[in-house]
Structure 1
Amino acid sequence: MNSLIKKMFPLMILSLGLLFTVSCVNTQNTEKEFKSVRAQKDTIGFAQYPWQMDSLMARIDRKGWDKTSGDPWKMAICPHDDYTYVGKLYPEVLQNVKAPTVILIGVAHYAAAMGIEDSLVFDTYTHWRGPWKDVPVSPIREELYESLKGTYAMISDSLQKVEHSVESMVPYLQYFNRDVSIVSILVPAMSLNRMEESGKALAEAIKTVADKHNWKWGEDYAIVVTTDADHYGNEDWGGFDRAPFGCDDAGNQKARDLEAEIIENCLKGEVNPENIKRFSEYTLDANDFHQYIWYWCGRYSVPATLWTTYYLNNAQTLHGEFIGYATSITCEHIPVDDLGFGRTAIATPCHWVGYAALGYR
């Protein structure tokens, strides 16, 4: 018997080794299967690689940009157009987002084409593509979605993967914090009441999650909503005339004056119901919320997020601080052609986009 055991022992060791190897391979395969990376949609207007971001920031540094001191932003409003156009506004607003987890609330440009409205839209990706490494999606996404699903939220990877607004901010957030994690939420068309209801529900879900993890707003998590301001002109807008004041110098100045009025009356200063509703009065048709009268693409994402911050702050004072405003024809363009990216649209007196950047604390 002992001699038999001695003969079988090497075979037993070999079998155990094979089992261990197979187990390791299966574990590695399982890990790979569970990693789902959301690819970058816009590889023309935005950077993809570390060297592109480093070179871009070196150029912005040479031109000069303002750094914010004091408490970090609890919430911020950030543009999402081409890096060459928006320029220094990206780092000026995002450098003061210090929290390791950022809830990114984006526009849903293709929601109408997909028949999606009235619901906050989540995704199921485990990571988003970033310049330095894949950016992990925070586990709180599932906790938030569980509180909102059915009544206020749905999942659509199909919508998330074609949307460019959220991904615009990821390279800059990762530039300032290599270990940032995110949650992406898109806001399609909603009525004024629905935006408030959804914003309040999201605030309650965030409160529950923050209390569970003992998180502080601004320190452990932050919210950034993205929007470009007016899309002005009568050239290359799909045949639409979006230039009610004309495209000469006087008309473009009137358009910029209206932009300044919207920012002053709705976004700067105290976040309160009156200012939030006033923003929709400027941007949406009073008789049909699907139609807009001033072309901010964040006409739904901005009010919904402002309602979220209002209720999340328990109706206490939260102030918006103006960081800057520019347009694609008045800003100093950052040269990027030699870096391997560029422009997704023209910039002329008859085709331009506005950019507003604000931080809240």
Structure 2
Amino acid sequence: MRRKAAVAGHFYPAHATAIKRQIESLITETTPQREVMGAVAPHAGYVYSGPVAVKVYQRIKAAQTILLLGPNHGAGMDMAAPPKAAIMAQGTWDMPNGEADINLALSSLLMNETDLLEDAPWAHEWEHSLEVQVPFLQYFNGDIQIVPIIIWNLADEEITSLAAALARGLKKYGRPVTVIASTDFSHYIPHELAKLKDAMAIEKIIALDGMGLVEVVRRERISMCGYLATAVVIETLKALGATKAELVDYKTSGDVSGDYASVVGYGGLVIS
């Protein structure tokens, strides 16, 4: 199955040369790449979240295979029970700057470890949260393979269960895989309030406290769309030996638009 780029020409340019030009325009510093276990990156249009995303991706030397987790923004909302965690287990993503094949060997291992993953390629058709990560990965790391998972809803015990299953599958795979959580932070609140709320969420990520992140997001009503995906990534990487998370950058859309009355927060972190 081939998935066409859904948001090329909207969230990021539609042509390879324009993508390259925009990414290079976002680079404001020179920094060496290093091997990390994973990262947290935003997924808005490049004009808004690109300055944060590029600082994440220029720092990480990603493995050839990337396990991508993000929120499901609406696929299956008309269903009685949308897939809790929808994986696209095989196929190819046709991107403007080259194909990204799905790593069937890894996706099969992961699906064998848990019933929480449902092979639902249709759920990925219009979802942007993972797609916008791919051009950055291709620019900084060349030819890549991906395994995409989008999350609709998980109970607390399902978060830990899915994370444990992913960790088991990754161990059985036995080759390097970079695990990335795609999320934006607060949505459509004043700039200073967004910074305050998002700092609470970022504190939990830096502490590698996935369930603490879930708790603070719910308690403080932080409108962080990918908090479940981020919690799963944190708990997965901890099970694989992660000991450190670092904040790379944080901005809001107001830093770009000048409108600080209603902003979206963007945070970038690396996990090692």
Instruction: Provide the aligned length of Structure 1 versus Structure 2.
Output: 269
Checking the alignment, whether the CA contact within 8 Å between 1:188 and 1:301 is kept in structure 2 is: no
- Give the aligned partner of residue 96 of structure 2: 131
CA distance in 2, matches of 1:230, 1:50: 31
Bigger fraction of residues in strand: 2
Shift of the 174–116 alpha-carbon distance from structure 1 to 2, 3 Å rule, reads farther
**Given that residues 200 and 216 in structure 2 are in contact (C-alpha distance below 8 angstroms), is that contact kept between their aligned partners in structure 1?**
no
Q: What's the CA shift for 1:152? A: 1.9
Q: Secondary structure at the match of 1:91?
A: helix
Structure 1: distance between partners of 2:228 and 2:201: 15
TM-score, normalised with respect to structure 2: 0.90
Query: Equivalent residue of 1:121, what SS?
Result: strand
Give the Cα–Cα distance (whole angstroms) in 2 for the partners of residues 204 and 39 of structure 1: 31
Report what 1:32 is aligned to.
none
Q: Given that residues 85 and 153 in structure 2 are in contact (C-alpha distance below 8 angstroms), is that contact kept between their aligned partners in structure 1? A: no
CA root-mean-square deviation: 2.1
CA distance in structure 2 between the partners assigned to 1:322 and 1:66 by the alignment: 17
Aligned mates of 1:115, 1:304 — CA distance in 2? 24
User: How far has the Cα of 1:134 moved from its partner?
Assistant: 1.4
- Give the equivalent residue in structure 2 for 1:195: 159
After superposition, residues 46-195 of structure 1 pair within 5 angstroms as 46-61=12-27, 64-65=28-29, 67-69=31-33, 71-95=34-58, 96-111=60-75, 113=77, 114-116=79-81, 119-148=84-113, 151-195=115-159
Give deviations 1:199-254, integer Å, cap 9, x for gaps: 111111111112xxxx2xxxx32111100011023xxxxxxxxxxxxx4xxxx313
- Percent identity, aligned pairs only? 22
Say yes or no: does 1:279 pair with 2:222. Answer: no
**Contiguous gaps of at least 5 residues in structure 2:** none
User: Which deviations, in whole Å up to 9, do the C-alpha atoms of 1:142-179 show, x marking residues without a partner?
Assistant: 42244135x22111122111211000011111112231
CA distance in 2, matches of 1:97, 1:116: 38
- 5+ long unaligned stretches in structure 1: 1-35, 234-246, 286-291, 334-346
In structure 2, C-alpha distance between the alignment counterparts of 1:300 and 1:318, rounded to whole Å: 20
- 3-state SS of paired residue (2:54): helix
Contact map agreement 1:37 1:126 (CA 8 A) in 2: yes
Partner of 1:341: none
Counterpart amino acid of residue 122 in structure 1:
I
- Pairwise mapping of residues 178-257 of structure 1 onto structure 2 (< 5 A)? 178-210=142-174, 215=175, 220-233=176-189, 247=190, 252-257=191-196
Q: Secondary structure at the match of 1:88?
A: helix
Cα distance, 1:93 vs. partner?
Answer: 0.8
CA distance in 2, matches of 1:171, 1:225: 15
- Is this contact kept in 2: 1:122–1:145, CA < 8 A? no
TM-score (norm 1): 0.69
Partner of 1:296: 224
8 Å CA contact retained: 1:107, 1:227: yes
Report the Cα offset of residue 98 of structure 1. 2.4
Is the contact between residue 88 and residue 120 of structure 2 (CA under 8 Å) also seen in structure 1? Answer: yes
What is the DSSP-based 3-state SS (H/G/I as helix, E as strand, rest coil) of the residue aligned with 1:169?
A: helix
For 1:66 and 1:256, locate their aligned partners in 2 and report how far apart those are by CA, in whole Å: 26
